[in-house]
Amino acid sequence: MRLLRTMTVVLALVAAALPGVAFAAPTAPYDAFILNGRHSVAITPDNGTITLTHWPSGGPGTGREAVQIEVETTDQNPSTRRYYSMWIFAPYDQQIVAGTFPVSRISPEYELRVDGDGGCLAGDGTLIIRSISRDANNWITSLSFWHKEGDASCTQGAGGPQWGEVRWHAPDGYVEAVQSDAMVDFGDVDLGMGPQPHAASRTVTFTGAGTSPLQLGAASVEGTGASAFAIKGNTCTQSAIGYGQTCSIGVVATPTAVGTYEAQVKIPDNSQNQYRIVKLKMTVHAGAEGTYRPVSPFRLLDTREGNGAPKAPLGGGRTLHLQVTGRGYVPLSTVSAVVLNVTVTGPTSAGYLTLYPTGVGRPTASSLNFPAGWTGANSVTVPVGANGQVDIFNAAGNVHIIADVMGYYLAYDDTHQSTAGQYWPTQPQRLLDSRDPAFGGPLRPFEYVKIPVSYGAEYNSHIRALAVNITAVTPTMGGFVTAWNGFDQRPNASTLNFTPGSVVPNLAVVPTAWCYECGGNGYPSIGVGNYSSGSTHIVVDIFGFYDDGQIPGGLRFHPLTPTRIVDTRDGLGAGTFTGAGTKTVTAPPSVAGDDTYALVANVTGVDPANSTYLSLWATGGTKPTVSNLNLTPHEVRPNAAFVPVGPGNKFNVFNAAWKVDVVIDVSGTFEFLPGSVPAAQAAGLAQQGPLRASSTGTPERQPLR
């Protein structure tokens, strides 16, 4: 008949550990069950039950002397009970004695088993039995030991080593602590734009559980994924925590590339194990931040009609708060910036508008300059500010303002998906010039043209919008141009306004549709319509496209409060052009960094002595054959531009003729998302230049309906 004896220690009181408060340390003899590693728990008579069962003549089915320690704890939460069990088996024909022994789960020598929450299979380890006492009948009356298992696989929780101190009616003191987390899993994390402001930090707390203070050394992050984590906030290093006292270490995720990262925080100490460890893990995704969603143009503001603001012109020195989120296909949240086509009409004096995020100080920048009596437009990319609003400041006079939203850029939203589009810069090319005799003359009154483009089958089916510069040239009567996908109902919005005989450019990001009649098997295309009783020539130049987020290698938008980097009138960035020539500008660190590919800018020509044009391109590249801004004598005219930068974040500005001043304000950048594409692919785009259209298809003229 197998003999066994069970003894239990039970006490229902629960002691909560409070930071900085020292509870009375346990007194001998000691009863404690402390685990760290895969689990972390301290069970004493204060918060659970500890039971020792002794089989002096052989544990179940083994014929070997065995001891089982069983514990149950509420973990200070009566609704959650946790169970642990630990076995020690002596070698065959021997008794359990004090000493240091190598152990494994199944061994002819000492065998150690630790089972509990997590379902782990133990590996090899070490057992140090400090003391053991028996009565006259050979029953164990006290037991003191430290144990450590090697790496193990677990069906739940953290894998890896597990160690701790166990006491039952023992005289031996011990140095130990428990930690709030054995593993910190950040889960899914989005790779943000620029420094990582988005990954939430985690804090691990250590609570002294020994009879003597735990002395802690300097914490460090180790492992293959160590570069993706950082310690932030640390009250443990070089501290000592007694029984019931706490210290904590904060860890923040700092990934720089997509992928799965694993590491651990390690802190040396004076315990038998000699260190604490906290495993770290996260999976990093590209996310949606900085991607773009085009929308069918929607009118958010028209002061002539009281849409979006009171029905009245905006006075000089006044600021209008325009609600942009939650309106016109723009969601209420997760928006970092909007692309607006802003039109002024009927200004009583020369002036300018500045658009900027609500809630920040008005910057020294302009978004649209105008003379008295002028009607004109400019594309403006502006970060969204407080309450989903942007501010519009009018410098002088009274002016009516119209704003149509063309699309929006996504902010960080913790969805870990990239469902919107990235930007692909392309070599500037002319898609349409109605002055070419092959086209058949200017667009007639109320006529539009479908304009296709092809970058090959790899890209065409993914293209969702084109970034184009549209210029109306010498219209015979006043009117406006509207650009849209050319198939859906024409939106109630204008892309640019013109007067007879003028040359008016405007950058536009235009949604695409598939045009089957435009050549080949069909191409992505846009529609450009002439809304005038007269005819006008149309010139369309492409600078890039936006994809559907399904192909790797594009660029992400990073919003900035509008920042002036060039004003040749004051010598900022460059000096005044005194004639034809090229100037090189360095984008300052305040707007451009190591991952910057292009600037989202407003380029303004000021008081040219005669007609001229400006072209901007990356230093080290080839001067494009198209222009960014056309100017007539003595005007002040802006146009939005996506300006690539070369090595050192330098770019060139070319002036075709005559004296002219140039002002450049930056409201964002296009960036490589670090690690989201292979380094060689990103380097290829930066060094070899952007894509070139393989075909421009056949433009298709149709009357407006």
Cβ neighbours of residue 88 under 8 Å, at least 6 residues apart?
66, 67, 96, 110, 111, 112, 127, 129, 145
Cβ neighbours of residue 92 under 8 Å, at least 6 residues apart?
63, 64, 108
Over residues 665-683, the pLDDT tens digits come to 999 999 987 665 544 444 4
Question: Does the pLDDT value for residue 14 go beyond 70?
Answer: no
The pLDDT, as a whole number, for residue 488 is 84
Q: How many helices (H) and strands (E) does the chain have?
A: 2, 49
pLDDT band at residue 663, thresholds of 50, 70 and 90? very high
Phi-psi region of 323 (alpha: psi -120 to 50; beta: other; left: phi over 0): beta
Over residues 150-185, the pLDDT tens digits come to 765 554 445 567 899 999 999 999 999 999 988 899
Mean pLDDT of 129-140: 95
Residues making up the chain, counted from first to last: 705
pLDDT band at residue 699, thresholds of 50, 70 and 90? confident
Over residues 208-224, the pLDDT tens digits come to 999 999 999 999 999 99
Of 15-19, 507-511, 641-645, the one with minimum mean pLDDT is 15-19
Over residues 227-256, the pLDDT tens digits come to 999 999 899 999 999 999 999 999 998 888
pLDDT band at residue 32, thresholds of 50, 70 and 90? very high
ω into 674 cis (within 30 of 0): no
Question: Does the pLDDT value for residue 459 go beyond 50?
Answer: yes
**What are the backbone angles phi and psi of residue 96, rounded to the nearest 5°?**
-70, 125
Question: Does the pLDDT value for residue 77 go beyond 80?
Answer: no
Q: How far apart are CA 270 and CA 585, in angstroms?
A: 59
Mean pLDDT, all residues of the chain: 87
Q: How far apart are CA 535 and CA 459, in angstroms?
A: 35
**What are the backbone angles phi and psi of residue 122, rounded to the nearest 5°?**
-75, 155
Which of 683-688's residues contact partners 24+ apart within 8 Å by CB, and which partners? 685/425, 685/553, 685/597, 686/597
Higher pLDDT, 530 or 118: 530
> How far separated are the first and last CA of the chain, in Å rounded?
101
Percent of residues, the chain, with pLDDT higher than 70: 88
Mean pLDDT of 523-550: 94
Higher pLDDT, 377 or 78: 377
**Side chain identity, residue 523:** Y
Name the nearest CA neighbour of 198 among 284, 293, 291: 284
Name the nearest CA neighbour of 328 among 284, 279, 294: 294
**Side chain identity, residue 427:** Q
The pLDDT, as a whole number, for residue 641 is 95
> How far is the CA of 394 from the CAs of 150, 585, 603, in angstroms?
70, 29, 18
Cα-atom radius of gyration of the chain, to the nearest Å?
Answer: 36
DSSP, residue by residue, 10-30: E--------TT-PPPPP-SSE
Count Cβ atoms within 10 A of the Cβ of residue 257 and give its class: 0-12 exposed, 13-18 middle, 19 or more buried: middle
Which three-class secondary structure state does DSSP give residue 223?
coil
> In which element (H, E) is residue 459 found?
helix 457-460
**What are the backbone angles phi and psi of residue 373, rounded to the nearest 5°?**
75, 5
Q: How far apart are CA 415 and CA 538, in angstroms?
A: 42
DSSP, residue by residue, 326-374: TSTT--SSSEEEEEEEEEEE--SSSEEEEEEETTSPPPS--SEEE-TT-
Q: Which residues of 305-330 are buried (b: 16+ CB within 10 A; e: fewer)?
A: eeebbeeebbebeeebebbbbebbeb
- DSSP code of 575? P
Cβ neighbours of residue 310 under 8 Å, at least 6 residues apart?
303
406 contacts 297 by C-beta, under 8 angstroms = yes
The pLDDT, as a whole number, for residue 584 is 97
pLDDT band at residue 73, thresholds of 50, 70 and 90? confident
